[in-house]
Chains A and B, each alone.
Chain A
Amino acid sequence: MTHTTVHRLSEFAVGLLFGLGLLLSGMTDPGKVLGFLDLAGAWDPSLALVMGGAIAVGFFAFGAAKNRTTNFFGGALHLPTAKDIDKRLVIGGLLFGAGWGMAGFCPGPGIVTMATGEPKAVVFVIAMIAGMLVFQFTDRKPKS
């Protein structure tokens, strides 16, 4: 196998693992997501455990990543450099959170649920891509 093939297979495997995690955790069920976001109703705390479980593992991984300059394949380690807490971050978060609360889908679960053939998830993903394209073609700030 060529290096490129190994890379593509590893990325595919990580995508698959991530998709399985979303399915098992309940993130792909909008009813469950909204049960978590509905503090005033009957509150389902499950999603706090999803975040907690993910971060508990991620914390050690990113701690290790900080002390490295390359990934295990010897390539670059692409860690974010942006630090600014600005209007874009705040407004983007508000719009995203509003959409998340309306549908119960965030980007990953939308894509995974689309693959089950669920028509509403298909519509969600098409609209999400349209929203991303609107941003891309109207954004004035050059992307770093």
Chain B
Amino acid sequence: MTIDWANFTPWMSLGGGILLGIASAVFILVNGRILGISGILGGLLAPKTGDVGWRIAFVLGMLAAPMTLSLLTPDDFLSAPRIDADYVMIGIAGLLVGYGTRLGSGCTSGHGVCGLSRLSPRSLVATGIFMAAGFAIVFVIRHLL
């Protein structure tokens, strides 16, 4: 294994991660909700009375993030996202992510951040599995195909 020191961003990533932790902490303690994106979205697709407003408010907040950041920082503060996958691969990936996160009851935020923070064995297994699948598929795409 070689480390990609040129792209390693320890402070930004640690700082961003701490923000994700603070958001998750506030959401459970103040709002009483698990900050899990796939669960929040999934609940919007099967709406129940009285269980919609908080989900919409949260998603709108997420959508406002890029514009907020661009108002607070210089123009070239963040580099543009690098997306190797073509549209077909993106479409298949989206379907898998949508179906898989609902079947497995969570994604990187719900299982990976909140679940591991709660020391949930179920989330630890889920996180280990989706990370392993991610490692495996990237190995296949980048080194075998």
A124-B31 contact given A35-B4, A108-B62, CB 8 Å threshold: no
The answer, among B54, B85, B109, for a CB contact under 8 Å with A103, is B85
In the complex with contacts A7-B54, A92-B126, A29-B82 CB distance below 8 A: yes
Q: Separation in Å of the B94 CB from the closest CB of chain A?
A: 3
Inter-subunit contact A73/B30 (CB<8 Å): yes
Chain B 44-60, CB within 8 Å of chain A: the 1/0 string?
A: 01100000011001111
Work out how many contacts link A and B, with CB atoms closer than 8 A: 496
B90 engages A123 (CB within 8 Å) = yes
The A contact surface, by secondary structure, is helix
Closest chain-A Cβ to B97's Cβ sits at a distance in Å of 4
- Complex-state Cα separation, A98 to B26, whole angstroms: 31
A37 neighbours in B (Cβ, 8 Å)? 131, 134-135, 137-138
Q: In the bound complex, do residue B20 and residue A8 qualify as a contact, i.e. CB atoms below 8 Å apart? A: no
A2 proximal to B (CB < 8 A): no
Count B interface residues, CB 8 Å. 111
- Cβ of B19: which chain A residues have Cβ within 8 Å of it? 17-18, 20-21, 24-25
Which residues of chain B are near A32, meaning CB under 8 Å?
7, 9, 82
Q: A61-B28, A95-B103 are in contact. Are A82 and B15 (CB under 8 A)?
A: no
CA distance A129 to B42 in the complex (A): 8
Q: Is the CB of A85 within 8 A of B133?
A: no
- CB contacts (< 8 Å) of B2 on chain A: these are 41-43
A132-B32 in contact given A44-B7, A112-B65, A127-B91 (Cβ < 8 Å): no
- The 0/1 profile, CB within 8 Å of B marked 1, for residues 33-46 of chain A is 01101111111111
Which residues of chain A come closer than 8 Å to B95, judged between CB atoms? 99, 127-128, 130-131, 134
B21 touches A136 (CB 8 A): no
Given A40-B139, A126-B94, A131-B99: 7 more A-B contacts, CB < 8 Å:
A15-B61, A34-B142, A49-B14, A102-B137, A107-B98, A120-B83, A143-B46
Top 9 nearest A-B pairs by Cβ distance? Answer: A92-B104, A15-B61, A131-B98, A25-B16, A19-B65, A127-B94, A97-B133, A53-B17, A57-B21
